[in-house]
Amino acid sequence: MALKKVKGNFFERMFDKNLTDLVRGIRNNKDNEAKYISTCIEEIKQELRQDNISVKCNAVAKLTYIQMLGYDISWAGFNIIEVMSSSRFTCKRIGYLAASQCFHPDSELLMLTTNMIRKDLNSQNQYDAGVALSGLSCFISPDLSRDLANDIMTLMSSTKPYLRMKAVLMMYKVFLRYPEALRPAFPKLKEKLEDPDPGVQSAAVNVICELARKNPKNYLPLAPIFFKLMTTSTNNWMLIKIIKLFGALTPLEPRLGKKLIEPLTNLIHSTSAMSLLYECINTVIAVLISISSGMPNHSASIQLCVQKLRILIEDSDQNLKYLGLLAMSKILKTHPKSVQAHKDLILACLDDKDESIRLRALDLLYGMVSKKNLMEIVKRLLGHMERAEGSAYRDELLYKVIEICAQSSYLYVTNFEWYLTVLVELIQLEAGSRHGRLIAEQLLDVAIRVPVVRQFAVNEMTNLLDTFTVSAQSNSMYEVLYAAAWIVGEFAGELEDAEKTLNILLRPRLLPGHIQGVYVQNVIKLFARLATTCLELQDLPGLVTLCDHVLDKLQHFNGSSDIEVQERANSACMLIEMLRNQLSTSTDAMAMDTTTEGGIPPLAIEIVQEMTLLFTGELIPVAPKAQRKVPLPDGLDLDEWINAPPPEDAASSSSSEHDKDELFVSAAQAGSAADGGGKRRQSLELTPEQLERQRMARLIEQSNNPHYLKSTPTASGASNADQYDNIDDIPITELPLDMEGVAALRVGITKRSDKYLQEQQAAQGGKDGKKKHKKGKKSKKAKNKVAYNSSSESEGEPKPLHIVNTTLDMPEGVSMSDSEDKDGKYDPNDPHRALDIELDITDFEAPAVRSSSKKSAAGKENLKTPAESAGSGSTAKKDRKKDKDKDKDKDKERKAKREHRESKRERKEAAVQPAIDLIDADTLAMASVIGGIIIDMGAEVATKAHKKKHKKEKSQRKEKKASESASASVSAIVSIGEYEQPLGISTPSKEIL
């Protein structure tokens, strides 16, 4: 009968499926897994209805596995809580595991678990409390954090290291959900940094390092404790965390970096752990950046870091190589000369099989360039681009070449003819690139900003327009034709043969609509320039021929499918037709003696002059923010209607009338309308000869286009298919690479841009020969000087041949500013944003730490910093003696003074450096003891400064009695900030007192 209370009888329980049977069954039913799992879930539901906790525990274990496969088990929440509440540890562990898988912070059932979890946390069995902490960390909610914070804090003081370690780690989850618990829990958390158990100590370090990610200045006074741990611990993972924390603290207090250089350098020399080495190098870089102004020479430390990083980059492990390149990029920002010495190693990484390493090497090259090595680096990149595989990586190479050359307004480009040649070579190398718009922007920018190279630019763009191959893969690269057509039209005065360029633009080609529109616009510019030349030469036949030629060629653009191209072409035709009509009447005008000396009608001359005036004037680059800074005129309302909207009835009636009008009319109707006095202009009808000429031009273009499918007869196609039975019999046709415009595509020949590099090397070689005899006369002392002198850097750099115009067009009275840019660093999903709170760690100091000051005033004013008490301690005694005779209510006045000092201190401390506010004198004394450095000279200087300030306070006490102590405290803070200890973290407070 006893067995029946469990489940039927013993034999029925023998055939229950456990977790192993469930896993084996799922593997055996792969073809019908969903049906099998649904059957198992029905069996599990039957087991959950039993009274035996062991049966329920087995069912919950199977549900946990099913949930890992992606099935929902939220319906079993009450059963999971029931298993969690079991008194048996084996069942409780399964229950908490299921809860960690199933529950989340927004689960409604969590309110039922508060007392149960509190009971487990207070259990005498450490493993019950441990499994409760582990499970709670996965589904803790703000309510659970608020209710259980005290119980978890109690476990931090447990006698068992196992519970202390788990409780310390659990408090981090509590802080994320309930930040208000950080203030009362921080004193205990700080105590765990000196816990005798290394596991608890490491847990406390991890928690504080994670908390410091959001607001590291809160933990600046803990620097002495972390310094002690860093110099005594052998746990590499804890050292990594501490070194990361120091990297975040050093920018806040640069004096801390002076103390860190030596131990970090020792770790770099001694450690064999690559992860620890990488973090040490990162922190050394951060330290050197923060103290670069305070300590003049750190070349030895930088060289050590670079040498270690070279070892990482040369390693066969791809991960170490990537980390080495990443750390090298950080050194590059402050010490570029040290990294430039390893240029060959970085360039060798471009041939690595891992694309991420190649991209990281490209990022390094961006900062390694100078005026001296720019051409060489670009040459290596162009050669690498020819061998590289993959369109995405080739596009990235192209982008980096342009980014390297264009950085800082072409700071390192000394010869812009070379740069324009490089851009043209990039167009020829990467016909299918997606960076065509970027290249076009560079062509336009150089042509506008550098007036000296405009003649070279227009000739290069003419050749580009003539030789550019139209293909289906160059959709983005078409943009370079936009830039080339604009350049040759805008700077037509620099062209050697404007008529040739005009014929190139008028050539019929299959181009996008916006490119054709630019072609038409710049055809007018070139026409105006050639017409002006004809006027100067009094060449009437040449002007007539030019008009007829342009009118004939523009008919191709009149038939474009793009409406804007049609509009531009028709407008140009009308303008040129007007000029042509004036020229056609020149014979009659000459008979009436109304023409000029050359026979050109004055109205025609006026038309040409007006066309030329349309395109006169120099362009200046417009600033990016120029439009938004244009002031709004008075009385202009951009939201006001220009024309009042018609009423609804009138709109409906007018729309019905418009519906009756015909949108398209026939030619006959148009002619009748014209006879009837209408002003409708007849459309231009093409003659049969013009139509035939357009058809032949189209056929010629199709025949030269390799991507156009030619139509062939069926019979001939069949015979061609059967002509060659064997593949090897098919003849191979050699491409004529000697054609004009194709020679630059041949691999293995010298590029046009290489001649500029050879000229620069030849010039540099001549300078080096002249200075060679001077180098031998340098003394050994000069060799030991800092290698990063700005004057020495610029000695060997070539002088720029062309000057870049950096003037930007802005509205009058407006200056450039970046204050209007929005700050996009705020992340609403950041889990650490709630931890950005201010902690006054001096409030948490133990009384033993303040044993140096045993006066009663120090106990009452525990909210003040020790720096204030150092400056106002002696004056407070005399104030109290003097106030006894004048005021009987001594306690009330003392309280009022304290409140006044606190308010005054808060206003004054806002202007003092944050790091000096946070590092109190007691903490600095502790740091000095750790470093083993106490300087008597510093104590004497501090004592003299204190005596001078004390005399000054005596003379001013009668005038400013109410604010005397507050001003003394501020002066004490400033005196600490001005005093620097060369080898320690800061000045010992005991010497100040």
| DSSP string for 447-488 | HHH-GGGHHHHHHHHHHHHHHPPP-TT-TTTTHHHHHHHHHH
Q: Helix or strand or coil: residue 622?
A: strand
| pLDDT at position 829 | 66
Q: Would you state the pLDDT for residue 808?
A: 65
User: Could you read off the pLDDT of 414-448 as tens digits, one per residue?
Assistant: 889 999 999 999 888 876 678 889 999 999 999 99
- Cβ atoms 157, 124 nearer than 8 A: no
Residue 93 to residues 83, 90, 123, Cα–Cα distance (Å):
9, 5, 14
Task: Give the number of other Cβ atoms within 10 Å of residue 239's Cβ.
Answer: 22
**Cα(99)–Cα(138) distance, integer angstroms:** 8
- Give 615-631 pLDDT, tens digit per residue: 887 777 777 777 777 88
Residue 772 pLDDT greater than 80, yes or no: no
pLDDT at 860 over 90: no
Full DSSP string of 542-561: HHHHHHHHHHHHHHHHHT-S
- Sort 237 into a burial class: Cβ within 10 Å, 0-12 / 13-18 / 19+: middle
pLDDT value of position 436: 87
Instruction: Say how many C-beta atoms besides its own lie within 10 A of residue 762's C-beta.
Output: 9
Q: Categorise residue 635: left if φ over 0, alpha if ψ from -120 to 50, beta otherwise.
A: left
3-state class of 839 per DSSP?
coil
pLDDT at 872: 41
Residue of 145, 95, 148 lying closest to 119 (CA atoms): 148
List 809's β-bridge partners, or say none: 622
Confidence at 296, pLDDT banded by 50, 70, 90: low
* 56-62 long-range Cβ contacts below 8 angstroms, 24+ apart: 56/82, 56/83, 57/83, 57/86, 57/90, 57/91, 57/94, 57/95, 58/16, 58/18, 58/19, 60/94, 60/95, 60/98, 61/18, 61/19, 61/94, 61/98, 62/17, 62/18, 62/19, 62/22
pLDDT exceeds 50 at position 499: yes
Assign 797 to helix, strand or coil. Answer: coil
Q: How many CB atoms lie within 10 A of CB 76?
A: 23
DSSP codes joined into one string, 318-378? HHHHHHHHHHHHHHHHH-HHHHHTTHHHHHHGGG-S-HHHHHHHHHHHHHH--TTTHHHHH
Helix 479-490 and helix 436-449: axis angle, to 10°?
20
Q: What is the mean pLDDT of residues 518-524?
A: 91
Q: Average the pLDDT over 768-795 and give the result.
A: 47
Q: What is the pLDDT of residue 814?
A: 57
State yes or no: pLDDT of 970 exceeds 70: no
Residue 809 in 3-state DSSP? Answer: strand
* Closest C-alpha to 420, from 363, 386, 461: 461
* For residue 919, pLDDT beyond 50: no
Sign of CA dihedral 307, 311, 314, 318: negative
Name the residue among 550, 544, 546 with its Cα closest to residue 587.
544
Instruction: List Cβ neighbours of 351 (8 Å cut-off, separation of 6 or more).
Output: 358, 384
pLDDT at res. 285: 83
**Token reading at 864:** 């003040």
Amino acid 681: pLDDT: 45
Task: Give residue 669's pLDDT band: very low, low, confident or very high (50, 70, 90).
Answer: very low
Give the DSSP H or E segment for 631: none
The answer to whether residues 95 and 80 touch, using CB atoms and an 8 Å cutoff, is yes
Q: At 680, list the tokens.
A: 């409708």
Q: How deeply is 231 buried, as exposed, middle or buried, from its count of CB atoms within 10 A (0-12, 13-18, 19+)?
A: middle
Instruction: Report the range of poorest mean pLDDT among 509-518, 614-623, 626-635, 784-793.
Output: 784-793
Give me the mean pLDDT over the 2-14 stretch.
43
Mean pLDDT over each residue of the chain, to the nearest integer: 74
| Range of 250-254, 292-296, 874-878 with top mean pLDDT | 250-254
State the average pLDDT over residues 167-194.
93
Q: Spell out the residues 6+ positions from residue 975 whose beta carbon is closer than 8 angstroms to its own.
A: 871, 942, 945, 946, 949
Amino acid letter, 779: S
Percent of the chain at pLDDT exceeding 70: 64
Closest CA to 612 of 641, 651, 580, 579: 579
- Mean pLDDT is highest, among 29-38, 209-218, 344-353, 385-394, for 29-38
- The sign of the torsion formed by the CA atoms of 290, 295, 296, 301 equals negative
Length of the chain in terms of residues written: 993
Neighbour count for residue 371 (Cβ, 10 Å):
18
| 186, 172 contact by CB (below 8 A) | no
| Lowest-confidence segment of 8-22, 25-39, 507-521, 848-862 by average pLDDT | 848-862
Above 70 in pLDDT, residue 928? Answer: no
Cα(591)–Cα(574) distance, rounded to whole angstroms?
Answer: 27
Exposure class string for 333-363: b at 16+ Cβ within 10 A, else e: eebebbbbebbebbbebbebeeeebbbbbbb
Q: Read off the pLDDT of each residue in 100-128 and give the average, rounded to a whole number.
A: 93
Bridge partners (DSSP) of residue 622 are 809
* Residue bearing the bigger pLDDT, 126 or 951: 126
Which of 368, 315, 321, 301 minimizes the C-alpha distance to 341? Answer: 368
Please check the confidence at residue 547 and state whether its pLDDT lies above 70.
yes
**Domain 506-591+599-623 - what CATH class?**
mainly alpha
Assess whether pLDDT exceeds 80 at residue 352: yes
- CA pair distance 224, 985, nearest whole angstrom: 9
Q: Give per-residue burial for 26-45: e unless 16+ CB within 10 Å, then b.
A: beeeeeeeeebbeebbeebe
More confident: 154 or 617: 154
CA distance to 46, 79, 952, per residue, from 39 (Å): 11, 19, 90
